[in-house]
Amino acid sequence: MKNKLSVAIITYNEERMIKRCLESVKWADEIIVVDSGSTDSTVKTAKQYGAKVVRKKWMGFSKQKNFALSLAKNKWILSLDGDELVSPELAREIRETIVKQGAFYVYRIPRKNFYYGGRWLKHGSIYPDAAIRLIQKNRGAFRDVLVHEEIDSDSPAGILKHDIEHYSKPGIGDHINALSRYTTLDAQEAYSTGRRATGYSVLVKPLFFFIKRYIFKAGFLDGFEGFLYHIMSAWYLFIYELKLLELERPLSGYKPWGSIFKRSLRVKKQH
């Protein structure tokens, strides 16, 4: 329908944030929640807000989100995660944008990341973290990848000024559990495309990543939360590279360092 908005959200046990998420988009013409089997109050809360709730067995991030997009009945769709909020300023900007019917069919939206629900991380190349989130129906879809899914579109993207607010996992244990899941998916995705671990990528790349983001990109200005975030990001990269190495050859029972350093040398010679 012309100038109307559907909000598409995927959920799984999001009771910590789902009420705030839905409250921030209650002005939308339609709210769709695709739930993959929550055992908490997520579904109940979504129904209380008048959302159209569809239960769908987990298919992977991209497929789940594309399924949610396919259910939208309105011309415009905003894709959100259950731990994200639309700021009041962004809500006004979205309404104004879809009424104007400008030159763009898809829009990138910046995202504020609140680490442990407290500090907004502004430095270390974390902000604005913009991605396509607002699209006209059938003008874009999530790329078919296992993790770090983004909307692809053949149309040029406009850019909105105001932010989606993302509230990360509430504790270090939650962060570590998420890290374990995502690094496995990341490694599987990379391996399927032919990428292989090297001595540099396992031992050096994570350290350089931390130094670049935390020191040269001023991540230290975000205080203790910034330090934690960049340590965990470097650790993510290290674990991901180890899992990628293990997909090629199990780590138990052999010493991999010689082989991966030899591969690093071969890669250098080829370049």
Residue 35: its H or E element: strand 30-35
Q: How high is the pLDDT of residue 253?
A: 53
Nearest of 178, 154, 156, 157 to residue 166 by alpha carbon: 178
For residue 128, whether the previous peptide bond is cis, meaning omega lies within 30 degrees of 0, is yes
CA gap 223, 229 in Å, rounded: 10
CA gap 248, 185 in Å, rounded: 15
Q: How high is the pLDDT of residue 261?
A: 52
Nearest of 213, 96, 103 to residue 161 by alpha carbon: 96
* pLDDT tens, the chain, 271 aa long: 578 999 999 999 999 999 999 999 999 999 999 999 999 999 999 999 999 999 999 999 999 999 999 999 999 999 999 999 999 999 999 999 999 877 899 999 999 999 876 799 999 999 999 999 999 999 999 999 999 999 999 999 999 999 999 998 788 888 999 999 999 999 999 999 999 999 899 999 999 999 999 999 999 999 999 999 999 999 999 999 999 999 987 665 545 555 555 555 554 455 5
Q: Which residue has the tokens 């050859």?
A: 249
User: Roughly what angle, to the nearest 10 degrees, separates helices 172-192 and 223-248?
Assistant: 40
In the chain, what are the domain boundaries? 5-167, 172-270
In one letter, which amino acid is 43? V
The answer to whether residues 123 and 218 touch, using CB atoms and an 8 Å cutoff, is yes
Which residues, other chains included, contact 191 with Cβ-Cβ below 8 Å and sequence gap of 6+? 244, 247, 248
DSSP bridge partners of 35: 11, 55
Q: How high is the pLDDT of residue 254?
A: 46
Domain 5-167 class in CATH: alpha beta
Token digits of residue 57: 């067995």
Q: How high is the pLDDT of residue 58?
A: 97
The answer to whether residues 120 and 94 touch, using CB atoms and an 8 Å cutoff, is no
Q: How high is the pLDDT of residue 262?
A: 56
Q: What is the DSSP pairing of strand 52-55 with strand 30-35?
A: parallel
Using alpha carbons only, give the angle 87, 92, 95 rounded to the nearest 5 degrees. 125
CA gap 150, 109 in Å, rounded: 12
Q: How high is the pLDDT of residue 2?
A: 73
DSSP bridge partners of 157: 106
CA gap 164, 66 in Å, rounded: 20
